[in-house]
């Protein structure tokens, strides 16, 4: 039986490598990639979701159902965003 895999950060350096390995793996039937932008790739195994708010996934619940494995490769370089944006997390967002 093949697995459905969730991957975040597929457009980054690490995530791109993980995506390639997942797409080539015979036990992976579907890769759901969720990120701020798409990869531009279109293999049949890949289902891409563009989603900007990584604090709130409630609009994507149906897309995330049936996931067997998750690879979280999402990140941002500290120098590319403000200090506040870099340290933002679900816990600190809820406290505001």
Contacts of 27 (CB under 8 A, 6+ apart): 2, 3
Contacts of 47 (CB under 8 A, 6+ apart): 30, 31, 32, 33, 63
Number of domains making up the chain: 1
The pLDDT of 87-92, averaged and rounded, is: 56
> How far apart (Å, rounded) are the C-alpha atoms in residues 18 and 8?
10
Structure tokens at 18: 């993980």
> 63 with 32: CB under 8 angstroms?
yes
- The CATH number of whichever domain residue 52 belongs to comes to 3.40.50.720
The pLDDT of 56-74, averaged and rounded, is: 92
Query: Could you list the residue range(s) of the whole structural domain that residue 9 is in?
Result: 3-95
Q: Give the confidence band of 77 by pLDDT, cuts at 50, 70, 90.
A: low
Which residue in the block uniquely carries the two structure tokens 């979701």?
49
Structure tokens at 28: 């992976």
């Amino acid at each position: 039986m093949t697995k459905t895999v969730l991957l975040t950060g597929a457009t980054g350096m690490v995530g791109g490598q993980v995506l390639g390995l997942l797409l080539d793996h015979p036990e992976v039937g579907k890769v759901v990639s969720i990120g701020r932008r798409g990869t531009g790739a279109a293999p049949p195994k890949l289902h891409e979701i563009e989603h900007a708010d990584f604090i709130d996934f409630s609009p994507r619940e149906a897309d995330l159902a049936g996931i067997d494995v998750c690879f979280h490769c999402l990140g941002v370089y500290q120098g590319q965003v403000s200090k506040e944006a870099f340290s933002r997390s679900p816990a600190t967002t809820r406290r505001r």
